[in-house]
Chains A and B, each alone.
Chain A
Amino acid sequence: MFNAIVRIGATTINVARTFRDTLSFASTIILKMFNKNSYNSATRLVLVHQIYFTSVQILPLFIGISIIFGTLLMGIVLQIIKNLGLAEHLGRIIMDIVVTELAPFVTVLLIALRSSSAINAEIAVMKVNRELNTLDKFNIDAVDYLFLPRVINGVISVVLLSAFFSILVLTSGLLFSKLLFGLSLESYSNVLLSSANFYDIVLSLVKCCTFGFFITLIPIRFGLNATNDLTSIPISVLNGMVDVFIAIIFIEVLSLILIFI
């Protein structure tokens, strides 16, 4: 019994410590983000490369998934709306499901699977290879040069790809709304525009930014936890990715609570 209590206590302390360290690291990055001295030709080049790796290279896969998954889902949702006789709420339901919930979630899952794991491994390898020592010896701030562009890229990529996902899925919704409800392009656009709520769009934007921020920040932090051993790399990636998924669920739940309030 005593051992169980000790274990629960130790786990709680560990979780609290991880949470505190992540927030402390986040505050460092945010402060740097708003400091103009953090930006120079080198950081801009890293940012451009990161956006290319995260947002451009993923496009074929992303478009494929958006079209297949989004179209099927829109078909099912519109069929249910028709069966339940909720046609007058068509726009509201589509906007709530696609723009506010589905788009950020699918986007963040894809980017986390592809880029977060890569960032985590990259930073861990740099730590093991003493490449972070190189930056230090040449008076290059690793936060400015390595971490900040990756975090900014995370925010930009999730926002842009989420918007792109919404556009693709809403476009496929046009097809089904024509087939099931006989809506023209103009009527469909009017239904969507009249259902668009400023609060929902802001919430969706904030959610995307928060997702993008943490799915790049957490892997960086865990990459830095790697030791000098090669074997610490997979451990660092494993722990980092688990925390990324916990963060995604945590942010999603938080946003749902905000919607219900």
Chain B
Amino acid sequence: MLFEDEVTLGKALNDFTSQHKKNLGLVSLDVPLLSNLDVWVNIALIKQYHENLSADKAQKLVLSYLARYGLEDISNKRNPALTNRERFCAMLLRAAMVRDSMVVIDRPFTIIPDVQDDRFIYDTLKAVDDSYRECHIFDYLWSKDRYRMIDL
């Protein structure tokens, strides 16, 4: 979904997230990774808290998902040590951990400013498309040209 300005986008995003609060998996700079936890704990937290999955099983699950991106080595890193792309993947995986997840990506290019078009976002979503129900992207109208593969 594309919007003209920050106010309109903010309002639409607020309305949308309120409607889907129960199974919302938000990927946004306003919802950062917890900086005092390792990446795997940040992602596993959702399953551990909501489904009482044991730490061992949750860690294995997270590692298997990180392996799809070839990012197993970031599992013990913390948020400030991540590159923009690694951070995006970790945030997306965390969102995908929500049961029946409605993944919402808020202005993805603010998280990965070094990425020119949507190819990276498309590939990242495709790699874990079995773990979420729907995905919605909120961005500005003027970013339209950057979306070539994803139909907004």
Contacts and interface: CB of A to CB of B under 8 A. Distances in A.
Given A42-B49, A139-B22, A139-B50, A129 B35 contact: yes
Interface string B32-54: 11111000010001101110111
B133 interface: no
Contacts of A137: 17, 24, 26, 31
What is the predominant secondary structure among interface residues of chain A facing chain B? helix
Contact residue range for chain B?
A: 20 to 34
B31 A41 contact: no
A142 B33 CA distance: 15
B36 A122 contact: yes
Contact residue range for chain A?
A: 20 to 34
Contacts of B49: 40-43, 138, 140, 144-145
B34 A41 contact: no
A98 interface: no
Best-buried of B22, B33, B36 by chain A (most CB within 10 Å):
B36
B32 A130 contact: yes
B110 to A, nearest CB: 14
Contacts of B36: 122, 126
A42 B50 CA distance: 9
Best-buried of A43, A125, A138 by chain B (most CB within 10 Å):
A138
Contacts of B94: 138
Interface in A37-67: 40-45
Given A125-B35, A129-B35, A131-B34, A41 B24 contact: no
B89 interface: no
B88 to A, nearest CB: 15
B55 A45 contact: yes
Nearest to B29: A130
Nearest to A134: B31
Contacts of A130: 30-32
18 contacts: A41-B54, A42-B48, A44-B55, A45-B55, A129-B35, A133-B31, A134-B31, A134-B32, A134-B33, A134-B34, A137-B26, A137-B31, A138-B24, A138-B25, A138-B26, A139-B21, A139-B22, A140-B50
Interface of B: 17, 21-22, 24-26, 30-36, 41, 45-46, 48-50, 52-55, 58, 94, 98
Given A131-B35, A139-B21, A140-B45, 16 more contacts: A40-B48, A41-B53, A41-B55, A43-B49, A125-B35, A126-B34, A126-B35, A130-B31, A131-B32, A133-B31, A134-B32, A134-B34, A137-B17, A138-B46, A139-B50, A145-B49
